[in-house]
């Protein structure tokens, strides 16, 4: 067992505690829609978010990393094969917890509209715990935040807020329930992933002791496998040598498993040698010299020294995912000890795809220190990031599938009866608020106030519990100048400064065969839809800015 992971005494299994029926839940402008569910009790919600996880990193999504707990979660629940995020951390969090596109609530940049893209949300965009409070829920948060405001002021009764995201071993700024706690020293037994799980378990135990007659929302926001690549020596040692054959072999092996088990209609997209990190930092070359590789190129084009350096970094990335899975297992054990497993909806996803970013931040990088230790600052980089996003193109920040497609695992044993099932319905993080609120209350939420735009997402409950289709007009993306729109099976996508491309994702999820020249009419109509949504959003945000100092 890792020296960074303390032993914990779990609660003995308790007798199943019946949940009381949910109290009536009213929001302004709500539509009463029955939920197709096997129980009338309000479900508990455990919402788990990974940070910079690749689409195929989990074992149940084609990966070779050991993730037995998430694999078991998928075996008793369902896996979505066409679920999306916003391709970046803070926009995804805003969309996931408000039910709006990030641009609609001033949490991402919209061209031609004032604001830096990480401003305050409007009054009509409460976070999920504030909405669920009216239904008697108590909410807990542990981990990363990256949303405007403070967790303790946004509906969470308990919170562990990890503000320092550049130090997995020695954070300088973090707090519990709004109160700062001391910086971690080199002598402390701390690793962020384990500590986040510790606090989650503590909050659940507290809930069971004091509020067992109320349902809970537990939001667990891990900060891994986001850079810096840091993990315990024991966890890293488990993967020693596993990636020595390189990312070309890794991509082929993951792709074969994905095709066999997830039935994804895709080819293995070729490497793009002109694609590297989305942002340039001079200190990378100064720190690592020729060992670091800044482009997607074939593994056999690397020197032996470069191959050793790259495979070492992937070993740490895998160790971070492995440790996260272990800690998720401990959280699920606590839910089980509370007798709450059957009526707890567990949702797992990632905020964006794996990252090609290369930089040195935090405490810098000591080349003499042990790889993956607190004194080092390593990033995965474009080669293994591309492999982590198999079979898709591009990385975090891009809105091609590699940046915006995420695993989505949902377990709810009382209501999802086809454990291990796949769902090919298209979904997006804007759908999570409608889904959770409908599961919790039997009602589909709409806008909270009359001056708010309609919620753009759809409840996924029919897909989760009955494998039914989800009807929607489109899904829309914009980040860092990268644009995309999906209508049915067709997707248009444009990297910043590049022409629009068109793909039929029912045949080509890996976006290899551009149909733009063959279907100009479809392309033009979809571009018009993308622009219309952008224009409508600009009007909404401009109206907010005109009455808010923070919009100036």
CATH of the domain at 211: 3.40.720.10
Model confidence pLDDT, tens digit, residues 234-256: 999 999 999 999 999 999 999 99
Scan for tokens 């809105």, then name that residue. Answer: 399
Within a domain: 28 = no
Within a domain: 27 = no
State which residues form the domain around 506: 44-72+84-551
CB 387 within 8 A of CB 85: no
Work out the end-to-end distance of the chain between its first and last CA atoms, rounded to an integer number of angstroms: 52
Within a domain: 39 = no
Mean local confidence (pLDDT), 342-351: 98
Distances (CA, A) of 248 to 293, 368, 457: 15, 29, 37
Q: How many domains does the chain have?
A: 1
Q: Which of 146, 132, 143, 188 is nearest to 435 (CA)?
A: 132
**Residue 499, class by beta-carbon neighbours within 10 Å (0-12 exposed, 13-18 middle, 19+ buried)?**
exposed
Q: What is the per-residue burial (b if ≥16 Cβ within 10 Å, else e) of 8-33? A: eeeeeeeeeeebeebeebebeebeee
Residue 421's φ and ψ, nearest 5 degrees, are: -75, 160
- Angle of CA points 541, 543, 544, to nearest 5°: 65
Model confidence pLDDT, tens digit, residues 364-395: 999 999 999 999 999 999 999 999 999 999 99
Q: Of 36-45, 94-103, 261-270, 317-326, give the lowest mean pLDDT range.
A: 36-45
Where would I find the beta strands (DSSP E) of 226-363?
344-350
- Res 355 pLDDT > 60: yes
Mean local confidence (pLDDT), 153-179: 96
- Res 40 pLDDT > 90: no
Residue 446: predicted pLDDT: 66
CB 264 within 8 A of CB 81: yes
Model confidence pLDDT, tens digit, residues 408-419: 999 999 999 999
Residue 112: predicted pLDDT: 84
pLDDT confidence bin for 18, thresholds 50/70/90: very low
- Res 24 pLDDT > 80: no
Residue 443: predicted pLDDT: 87
CB 42 within 8 A of CB 135: yes
The residues with which 140 forms a beta bridge, in sequence order, are 158, 218
Within a domain: 37 = no
Q: Which of 108, 75, 42 is nearest to 429 (CA)?
A: 108
Within a domain: 347 = yes
pLDDT confidence bin for 31, thresholds 50/70/90: very low
Within a domain: 16 = no
pTM (two decimals) = 0.92
Within a domain: 35 = no
Within a domain: 62 = yes
């Amino acid at each position: 067992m890792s020296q960074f992971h303390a032993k914990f005494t779990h609660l003995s299994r308790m007798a199943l505690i019946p949940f009381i029926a949910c109290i009536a839940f009213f929001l302004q402008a709500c539509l009463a829609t029955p939920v197709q569910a096997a129980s009338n009790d309000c479900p508990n919600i455990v919402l788990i978010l990974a940070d910079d996880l690749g689409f195929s990193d989990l074992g149940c999504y084609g990966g070779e990393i050991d993730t037995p707990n998430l694999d078991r979660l998928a075996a008793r629940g369902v896996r979505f094969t066409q679920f999306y995020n916003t391709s970046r951390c803070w926009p995804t969090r805003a969309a996931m917890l408000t039910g709006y596109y990030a641009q609609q609530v001033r949490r991402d940049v919209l061209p031609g509209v004032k604001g830096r893209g990480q401003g305050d949300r409007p009054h009509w965009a409460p976070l999920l715990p504030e909405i669920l409070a009216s239904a008697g829920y108590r909410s807990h948060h542990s981990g990363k935040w990256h949303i405007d405001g403070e967790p303790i002021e946004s509906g969470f009764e308990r919170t562990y807020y990890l503000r320092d995201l550049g130090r997995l071993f020695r954070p300088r700024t973090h707090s519990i329930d709004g109160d700062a706690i001391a910086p971690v020293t080199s002598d402390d037994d701390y690793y962020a992933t384990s500590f986040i799980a510790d606090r989650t378990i503590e909050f659940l135990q507290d809930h069971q002791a004091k509020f067992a007659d109320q349902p809970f929302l537990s939001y667990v926001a891990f900060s891994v496998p986001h850079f810096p690549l840091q993990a315990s020596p024991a966890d890293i040692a488990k993967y020693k040598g596993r990636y020595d054959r390189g990312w070309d072999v890794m991509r082929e092996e993951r792709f074969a498993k994905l095709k066999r088990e997830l039935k994804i209609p895709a080819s293995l997209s070729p490497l793009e040698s002109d694609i590297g990190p989305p942002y340039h930092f001079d200190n990378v070359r100064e720190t690592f010299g020729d060992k670091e590789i800044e482009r997607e190129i074939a593994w056999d084009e690397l020197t032996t020294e470069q191959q050793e350096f790259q495979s070492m970094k992937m070993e740490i990335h895998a160790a971070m995912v492995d440790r996260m899975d272990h800690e998720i297992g401990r959280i699920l054990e606590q839910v089980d000890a509370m007798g709450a497993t059957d009526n707890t909806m567990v949702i797992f996803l990632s905020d964006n795809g794996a990252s090609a970013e290369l930089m040195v931040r935090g405490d810098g990088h000591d080349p003499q220190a042990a790889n993956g230790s607190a004194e080092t600052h390593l990033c995965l980089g474009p080669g293994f990031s591309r492999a982590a996003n198999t079979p898709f193109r591009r990385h975090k920040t891009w809105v091609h599938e590699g940046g915006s497609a995420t695993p989505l695992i949902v377990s709810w044993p009382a209501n999802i009866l086809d454990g291990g099932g796949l769902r090919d319905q298209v979904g997006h993080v804007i759908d999570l608020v409608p889904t959770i609120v409908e599961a919790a209350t039997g009602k589909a939420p709409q806008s909270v106030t009359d001056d708010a735009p309609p919620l753009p997402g759809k409840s996924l409950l029919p897909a989760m519990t009955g494998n039914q289709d989800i009807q929607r007009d489109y899904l829309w993306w914009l980040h860092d100048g990268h644009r995309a729109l999906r209508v049915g099976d067709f997707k248009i996508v444009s990297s910043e400064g590049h022409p629009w491309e068109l793909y039929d994702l029912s045949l080509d999820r890996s976006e290899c065969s551009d149909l733009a020249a063959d279907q100009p009419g479809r392309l033009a109509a979809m571009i018009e839809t993308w622009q219309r949504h952008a224009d409508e959003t600009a009007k909404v945000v401009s109206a907010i800015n005109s009455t808010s100092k923070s919009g100036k």
